[in-house]
Amino acid sequence: MDVIEIIRAKRDGAELTPEQIDWVIDAYTRGEVAEEQMSALAMAVFLRGMNRAEVSRWTEAMLASGERLDFSDLERPTTDKHSTGGVGDKITLPLTPTVAACGAAVPQLSGRGLGHTGGTLDKLESIPGWRASLSTDEMRAVLSTTGGVICAAGAGLAPADRKLYALRDVTGTVESIPMISASIMSKKLAEGTGSLVLDVKVGSGAFMKDVDSARELARTMVDIGNDHGVRTVALLTDMATPLGRQVGNALEVAEAVEVLSGGGPADVVELTVALAREMLAAAGLTPGRDGVKDPAEALRDGSALASWKEIVRAQGGDPDAPLPEAAETRVVLAPASGTLTRLDAYQVGLAAWRLGAGRARKEDAVSFGAGVTLHAKPGEEVSAGEPLFTLHADEPERFDRAAEALEGAFDIEADAAHEPRPLVIDRVA
């Protein structure tokens, strides 16, 4: 095979053959195809796209570059959720134990945050003692005893994607629906789940800013999953405004525990229940039959909370220990009275990041206590001079830049008729 031929073929808009795709992904992973050649191919794919057969083969080639876990011998059916990432998106935390409490097993491989959206592992690492790195044997042991495990993906899963994602990141080729789909799905197929629910976020705080691109991403990923024997469905959900009232690592863990205790913000509860029902259905479980509980009931009756504590303990964490708090807080007051008609997810995410909740480079540490508390959500009334946000940071010099990010982040209107936006926008199956 000749890499230059492959680059030229895609540059000129041709369909790549399965053999070309297998070879180029393998040769790149082994170092035989140079970084500059793969950059050229990534740009050609970015500009020309790939059809369903090419995307499916590209995913398979990345999957074949590493190990594939297999949990098909567990007593419970396995199911997982992947979110494309949003601000205040702590849903994995209440969702995993809720689904476990209802009878499925959830093998969840998560990541750390980069940029304005937080990572699930960063949130969980704010729990004293909790460990993200588990061996495959430990992962299997936690999953079979508790029904849920949330841990870091080992280096052996889809190594081709790790290398290619890092290259795309520095060559302006991340925002390609075929390559995003193959990247996400190669990792999800490698983790060995039997079924998968995708939460594809839409709006200012999300990767996909408009519904049409989100729908195309969802369609592409759902097709890849189903083509590979993993029952896959997607929900398109709103990320124009943050989820819940807390944005930041330990703040979001505390909010997740509120939800697991039967309370918490309505949007976090709604999305947790909607995704949990989809996961159970994808795993072939029906609430009300064979002892399968409905997720809303599991949140109400304490079983989801008990499952959370069990999963956290099994990974070395103390679910009853106090969570870290930031050293300093600053309150931002509402400048006017009226209805909060807009609260921008991206700008709130940026403020939390500037407060220390996120990282700029992979090797940076995060502040567990940093973040933003939202005292009002769109549709709620606010009064001039009352708290609108509380900012949390370890270093007070961070407050001014975070407050700046929030300056144009909201609208308050007197006598405004506020149309609530639906949280679940569409379903792709």
Question: Would you please indicate which residues are annotated as catalytic (active-site) residues?
Answer: 82, 161, 168, 183, 187
Please report how close the Cβ of residue 111 comes to ligand URA at its closest, in angstroms: 7
Q: Examine residue 46 and tell whether it contacts ligand URA (CB under 6 A).
A: no
Question: Is-contact 144 112, C-beta < 8 A?
Answer: no
Q: Examine residue 110 and tell whether it contacts ligand URA (CB under 6 A).
A: no
**Which 75-104 positions form the footprint of ligand URA (CB under 6 A)?**
none
Please report how close the Cβ of residue 228 comes to ligand URA at its closest, in angstroms: 17
Q: Examine residue 256 and tell whether it contacts ligand URA (CB under 6 A).
A: no
**Which 13-32 positions form the footprint of ligand URA (CB under 6 A)?**
none
Find the binder of ligand URA among 6, 184, 230, 234 (CB under 6 A): 184
Q: Examine residue 218 and tell whether it contacts ligand URA (CB under 6 A).
A: no
Distance (Å, rounded) from C-alpha 120 to C-alpha 358? 11
Q: Examine residue 208 and tell whether it contacts ligand URA (CB under 6 A).
A: no
Q: How many helices (H) and strands (E) does the chain have?
A: 16, 13
* Nearer of residues 207 and 399 to ligand URA, judged by Cβ: 207
Please report how close the Cβ of residue 352 comes to ligand URA at its closest, in angstroms: 19
* Nearer of residues 165 and 308 to ligand URA, judged by Cβ: 165
Please report how close the Cβ of residue 402 comes to ligand URA at its closest, in angstroms: 25
* Nearer of residues 118 and 324 to ligand URA, judged by Cβ: 118
Q: Is 390 helix (H, G, I), strand (E, B) or coil?
A: strand
Q: What are phi and psi of 316, to 5 degrees?
A: 85, 0
Radius of gyration of the chain (CA): 22
Q: Examine residue 189 and tell whether it contacts ligand URA (CB under 6 A).
A: no
* Nearer of residues 184 and 190 to ligand URA, judged by Cβ: 184
* Nearer of residues 46 and 389 to ligand URA, judged by Cβ: 46
* Nearer of residues 360 and 417 to ligand URA, judged by Cβ: 360
Quote the DSSP letter at residue 323. P
Mask: binding to ligand URA, 151-180, rule CB under 6 A, as x and -?
Answer: --------------x--------x----xx
Distance (Å, rounded) from C-alpha 106 to C-alpha 246? 25
Find the binder of ligand URA among 65, 78, 173, 183 (CB under 6 A): 183
- Name the β-bridge partners of 411: 342
Please report how close the Cβ of residue 170 comes to ligand URA at its closest, in angstroms: 13
Q: Examine residue 134 and tell whether it contacts ligand URA (CB under 6 A).
A: no
Angle (deg, nearest 10), helices 159-169 and 52-63: 120
Helix (H) or strand (E) holding 378: none
Distance (Å, rounded) from C-alpha 340 to C-alpha 333? 13
DSSP 140-185: HHHHHHHSEEEEEPPTTS-HHHHHHHHHHHTTT----HHHHHHHHH
**Which 280-339 positions form the footprint of ligand URA (CB under 6 A)?**
none
For residues 97-118, one letter each, b for 16 or more C-beta atoms within 10 angstroms of the residue's C-beta and e for the rest, the string is bbbbbbbbbbbbbbebbbebbb
H helices of 234-344, where?
Answer: 249-260, 266-282, 295-300, 303-314
Please report how close the Cβ of residue 160 comes to ligand URA at its closest, in angstroms: 12
Distance (Å, rounded) from C-alpha 249 to C-alpha 246? 9
Please report how close the Cβ of residue 364 comes to ligand URA at its closest, in angstroms: 19
The closest residue (CB) to ligand URA is 183
Site size toward ligand URA (CB under 6 A) is 6
Q: What tokens were used for 284?
A: 């072939």
Please report how close the Cβ of residue 24 comes to ligand URA at its closest, in angstroms: 17
Query: Distance of CA 179 to CAs 18, 65, 175, 259, Å?
Result: 16, 16, 8, 35
First to last CA, the chain: 37
* Nearer of residues 198 and 409 to ligand URA, judged by Cβ: 198
* Nearer of residues 33 and 164 to ligand URA, judged by Cβ: 164
Binding site for ligand URA (CB under 6 A): 165, 174, 179-180, 183-184
